[in-house]
Amino acid sequence: MVSIDGRADSKSLIRARGLGKTYRRGGEQIHVLQGLNLDVDASDFVAFMGPSGSGKTTLLNLLGGLDVPSEGSVTVAGDEITRMSGAKLTAWRARHVGFVFQMYNLIPVLTAFQNVELPLLLTGLSKAERRSHVETALAVVGLDDRMRHYPRQLSGGQEQRVGIARAIVADPTFLLCDEPTGDLDRKSADEVLDLLDRLVRDHGKTVLLVTHDPRAAEHARLILHLEKGVLVESVTASPPR
């Protein structure tokens, strides 16, 4: 269940209240987000759409603890992340958030296996346990036969699937995907979106997706539109596949 009216019960996995973000450029104040409310339950798949500069990525950054709001609060699984110190927020991100970026952002000198293993280096898992987790994550994205390949040896779609494996390997509370298909051809984009579908449907993951592509947004259970920093409408997408 997703709502933007700020009246949902307190059991929501992700809850934003009165969220605002203002940048100062020169002497001018730019209000990117204003008084935004949002509630997202576990295992939801929400897409955020809107024109460039509408605040989609800023919203994702605030929900993922990469940025701090000018006003309002964000609470995830009962933790108000907007009150956390920098170091605590970093540790929280490692535990709760899986990031999927448009440009994949894999480390070029590491193999697919090593890239996926990165978030696990922050945990207390043994080497054998890390190996098992990485192999599982790469199997989920269908790349268990590409573990020893470097990013340059993979196609764009495969690189993004490695990026998704890296995002899910530590079993985070939710995934934030910022234009994950923006740099892919249609076929590869469909493979990535199908993969996100399966993560929600089969593995109960919560996915927040920012996209310009209506076809990508259609994979979500709900599409929210951002215009001038405000969530102005919500559209229920097609039922989960």
Q: Which positions touch other proteins (CB under 8 A)?
A: 57, 61, 64, 66-67, 86-87, 90-91, 93-95, 99, 101, 103, 105, 107-108, 118-119, 122, 166
For 21, phi then psi, to 5°, come to -140, 125
CA dihedral 231→85→70→40, nearest 10 degrees, is 10
What is the nearest approach in angstroms of other proteins to the Cβ of residue 112?
15
Strand bridging mode 79-80 / 97-100:
unpaired
Q: Quick one: which of 23, 21, 36 has its CA closest to 69?
A: 21
What is the nearest approach in angstroms of other proteins to the Cβ of residue 30?
14
The smaller minimum CB distance to other proteins, of residues 12 and 54, is found at 54
Quote the CA–CA distance of 101 and 81 in Å, as a whole number: 21
User: Is the Cβ–Cβ distance between 103 and 183 less than 8 Å?
Assistant: yes
What is the nearest approach in angstroms of other proteins to the Cβ of residue 160?
14
The smaller minimum CB distance to other proteins, of residues 110 and 237, is found at 110
User: Is the Cβ–Cβ distance between 177 and 100 less than 8 Å?
Assistant: yes
The smaller minimum CB distance to other proteins, of residues 14 and 223, is found at 14
The smaller minimum CB distance to other proteins, of residues 1 and 107, is found at 107
For 61, phi then psi, to 5°, come to -65, -40
The smaller minimum CB distance to other proteins, of residues 63 and 223, is found at 63
Quote the CA–CA distance of 66 and 210 in Å, as a whole number: 15
What is the nearest approach in angstroms of other proteins to the Cβ of residue 41?
25
Strand bridging mode 14-25 / 71-76:
antiparallel
The smaller minimum CB distance to other proteins, of residues 73 and 123, is found at 123
* Bridge partner residues of 224 (DSSP): 48, 234
What is the nearest approach in angstroms of other proteins to the Cβ of residue 236?
31
User: Is the Cβ–Cβ distance between 81 and 19 less than 8 Å?
Assistant: no
Q: Is 188 helix (H, G, I), strand (E, B) or coil?
A: helix
What is the nearest approach in angstroms of other proteins to the Cβ of residue 135?
19
What is the nearest approach in angstroms of other proteins to the Cβ of residue 231?
20
The smaller minimum CB distance to other proteins, of residues 12 and 58, is found at 58
